[in-house]
Structure 1
Amino acid sequence: MAPNVTTLTLLGMSETDSRPGLPALEKRSPPEPEPEKLPPPEPEPEELELDLAPNYEWRIVWRNVIAFVYLHTASLYGLYLAITTAKLLTVFWVYFLGGLGGMGVTAGAHRLWAHRSYKAKWPLRLLLVICNTIAFQNHIYEWVRDHRVHHKFTDTDADPHNSSRGFFFSHIGWLMVRKHPDVSEKGKKVDMSDLERDPLVMWQKRWYLFIMPLFCFVLPAWIPVRVWGEDPWVSWHVAAIFRYTLSLNCTWLVNSAAHIWGVKPYDRNMSPVESVPVAVAAFGEGWHNYHHVFPWDYKAAELGNYRLNFTTAFIDFFAWLGWAYDLKTVPERMALSRAARCGDGSHPRLQRRKSHGAQPAIWGWGDPDMPADEVRDANVARQAL
């Protein structure tokens, strides 16, 4: 049976029907499918430009700028007078007062009150309050609040001296502009109840604007004139201005240089570094990578001796007297374990273990070098009853 026209047409066959009157069927090719419409190409993304500008408007505190210009200019003149004109006793007086002020910051505001790394009886606390007032780096309460925020939010907008903004900002520039709003916001949330319970700290805070000029400038300049006959002009520029400006910059190096140049034996993922020059200038505060990992260690360092950590010698002396107690330290194994896990390999003890890799080698379960956290957190299935 011959196919009908519809069938032939659909099949595309060419055939002449034998029945009279019907025309010959022509072969028809099937219609070509329409080409698939592709979506229009997406435009290439524009190159992103990094916005390195601060996300807040820097408001310059011109009063501080003028004060710092005067201090540094007058201190250079004071240095000249110290070399050429000042009496030898005045130079020794500068060193003595610089050491007292430094202890008020490092042993007092920093290690005692900010980090609570040891405890002190009231005679030592009173001495440290006086020494801290000589240093004039704001009263203890404000210093501690900003420093606790610095540790909790290092190198973020909440960090008062954020080192990611460069050396100048973290060294002195942060004091020339208004604080970032995050600094104030986070500062309000920091627990300061321990300082609020300390009557000596709150006494200093209450009377700071009266006692600070007396202890930082008036007495340091007046005593050399009165006791050994120093020239008042020389005494002011050497014993007051030069001594104060030098102590400021030694402290500021901890915020700037000790966050930029050095090694990171304990945690390579944070900015603080170990810096011997800063340790010398700041009475032992240069072991900064260790300090940010273990801020509760009263030594603020694992390595170094009294020559490179005079603050520790100061605290140890008063501990011998019985005025300082509850001195907190980090066990050696804990420090080495952290260095092996997170450090950059520069720890001197780990240099000898490079053949075994950065992590201390162990022979198996029960090895004394096995980290305590691994022993504690290991999964032990089917334990014997």
Structure 2
Amino acid sequence: MTPDISIIARSEAILKNWQTLDWASVFSAIVYPALGVLALLAAILTGLVFEGVTLHWWYAPLAIATIALAVFVCNMGIGPLHRVMQHRAGQLAVPAQIMVVINCVIAMQGRFKDWVNYHTQHHHWSDQAGDPHNPHEGKLWAWVGWLLWRDEADLERPMARWLERYKVVVFHDKHFLWLYFVAHLLVPLAIYATVFFLGGPLVLVAILHACLVIGRGIQFHATTLGVNVFGHLQTPKWFDYVLAFLTGGEALHAHHHDFPRSALHLPKRGLWNRIVDYNGTALLIMNKLNLAKDLKIAPQFLPAPVPATNGDR
């Protein structure tokens, strides 16, 4: 596609100052992950300083597993949102839709309406001036700048018509701030209160809570970096696979603009492919469980046809 020189680069057209910051995005992308790190350090320091608080060795592997779980859960929201709800690579049953919405609430992805509208623009103007997060306008811009400074016209765009058929998505977008409030504040407070009244180790709860927040932050930034920045640049293969592990395969971006409606980002066969592209593997499993159907897969990712023998001719 020939660049349209009449379109002003998004990074230049959008006014950027303290007054125009999108503070919800500032909190989601920067403040909340930082609070997770500070909470983890505070919990560890509490255990080291106060004699009445004990830190057990098995807290460490449990904390690492919690971070990994948070990354996985967030990807189980963003993967189906991107591949099915955005690119219509299939259909999801209502229970699967609810799972996607819950996981995207945990991942703090904002309104699905805005998510889909931004990504639609990205595919239409990929690596050109109209691309909301064009890495050639600056890697920092493509990473978080486009989130921190928004164009009001983008946020005023209506929900894509095909997205309206997901009633659970419509409900989410209408009440997403309350859903975030419940998921990220009320539920943790209820867990803290329950453990406190049962006499359980609050320091462990604090460590695991902090690790959930950190894991969500890792996945968040791995996605914006892996897809928006490095997915459009030449990078070493090992680096692509590191980002793929952190994004469920979303960062495997080389083929995506050629066949965006594929439910898989790596070939269907091969254990390694299914481990790395675990967002796609989850869709295949959901298809087996009748939670997804009509999955579309890029031809190059399907098993090679078996050559005909003389007896078959």
The residue identity in structure 2 corresponding to 1:77 is L
Per-residue CA deviation, residues 24-48 of structure 1 (Å, 9 max, x unaligned), is xxxxxxxxxxxxxxxxxxxxxxxxx
Aligned to 2:230: 257
| Distance verdict in 2 for CA 1:110–1:220, change over 3 Å | farther
> Take 1:250 and 1:328, find their aligned partners in 2: how far apart are those partners?
26
> Relative to structure 1, is the Cα distance of residues 90 and 297 closer, same or farther in structure 2, using a 3 angstrom cutoff?
same
Conservation of the 8 A alpha-carbon contact between 1:277 and 1:286: no
Q: Distance in 1 between matches of 2:26 and 2:296?
A: 42
Q: Which whole-Å deviations, capped at 9, do the CAs of 1:239-286 have from their partners, x for residues lacking one?
A: 45423322211221221122223379xxxxxxxxx9222211111112
Quickly say closer, same or farther: Cα 1:219–1:91, change in 2 above 3 A: farther
| CA distance 1:216–1:55, change in 2 (3 Å) | same
Instruction: Quote the offset at 1:178 in angstroms.
Output: 2.8
Aligned to 1:355: none
1:120 aligns with 2:77: no
**Count of residue pairs the alignment pairs up:** 273
Q: Aligned partners of 1:281 and 1:59: how far apart in 2?
A: 30
Match of 2:69 among 96, 101, 105: 96
Q: Kindly provide the CA deviation profile for residues 201-226 of structure 1, in whole angstroms up to 9, marking residues without a partner as x.
A: 10111111101122244425653663
CA distance in 2, matches of 1:121, 1:69: 34
Distance apart, 1:235 and its partner CA = 4.5
Return the alpha-carbon distance in structure 2 between the equivalents of residues 130 and 196 of structure 1.
18
Query: Which of 44, 52, 74 in structure 1 is aligned with 2:35?
Result: 74
Alpha carbons 2:26, 2:148 under 8 Å: kept: no
Counterparts of 1:126 and 1:69, CA distance in 2 = 27
Instruction: Assess, with a 3 A threshold, how the Cα gap between structure 1 residues 230 and 176 changes in structure 2: closer, same or farther.
Output: same
Taking the aligned partners of 1:184 and 1:69, their CA distance within structure 2 comes to 21
Amino acid at match of 1:281: L
Q: 1:166 aligns with which of 138, 146, 157?
A: 138
- In the alignment, what sits opposite 1:383? none
Map 1:343-362 to 2 at 5 A: none
For the residues of structure 1 that align with 2:183 and 2:102, how far apart are their CA atoms? 8
Q: Which residue of 2 aligns with 1:226?
A: 194
Local SS of the residue matching 1:154: coil
Matched residue, 1:375: none
Aligned to 1:59: 16
Q: Is the 8 A contact 2:63 2:208 kept in 1?
A: no
2:301 & 2:278 partners in 1: Cα distance? 24
RMSD (CA atoms) = 3.6
The answer to whether the aligner puts 1:242 opposite 2:207 as a matched pair is no
Which residue is 1:331 aligned to?
Answer: 299
Three-state SS of the structure 1 residue aligned to 2:256 is helix
8 Å CA contact 1:79, 1:238 repeated in 2: yes
Maintained 8 Å contact 2:133/2:142: yes
Conservation of the 8 A alpha-carbon contact between 1:156 and 1:162: yes
1:278 corresponds in structure 2 to 243
What TM-score comes out, normalization by structure 2 length? 0.73
Q: Larger % of helix: which?
A: 2
Contact 1:104 1:129 in 2 (8 A): yes
CA distance in 2, matches of 1:167, 1:238: 28
Distance 2:107 2:94 in 1: 20
Tell me the distance in 1 between the aligned counterparts of 2:124 and 2:173.
Answer: 23
| Cα pair distance change 1:98/1:297, threshold 3 Å | same
The secondary structure found in structure 2 opposite 1:256 is helix
Q: Does the Cα contact within 8 Å between 2:223 and 2:247 map onto a contact in 1?
A: yes
- Please tell me the residue identity of whatever aligns with 2:77: G
Q: From the superposition, tell whether residues 82 and 242 of structure 1 become closer, same or farther in structure 2 (CA, over 3 Å).
A: farther
Structure 2: distance between partners of 1:225 and 1:299? 42
Output the CA distance in 2 between the equivalents of 1:93 and 1:260.
Answer: 31
Superposed CA deviations along residues 150-184 of structure 1, whole A, max 9, x for unmatched, are: 11111233222121112111111112223386x57
SS in 1 for 2:174: helix
The aligned amino acid for 2:83 is R
**Amino acid across the alignment from 2:247:** A
Change (3 A) 1:325 1:81: farther
Question: TM-score of the superposition, structure 1-length normalised?
Answer: 0.61
8 Å CA contact 2:264, 2:301 repeated in 1: no
Other-structure match for 2:257: 292
Q: Which position in structure 2 is the counterpart of 1:319?
A: 287
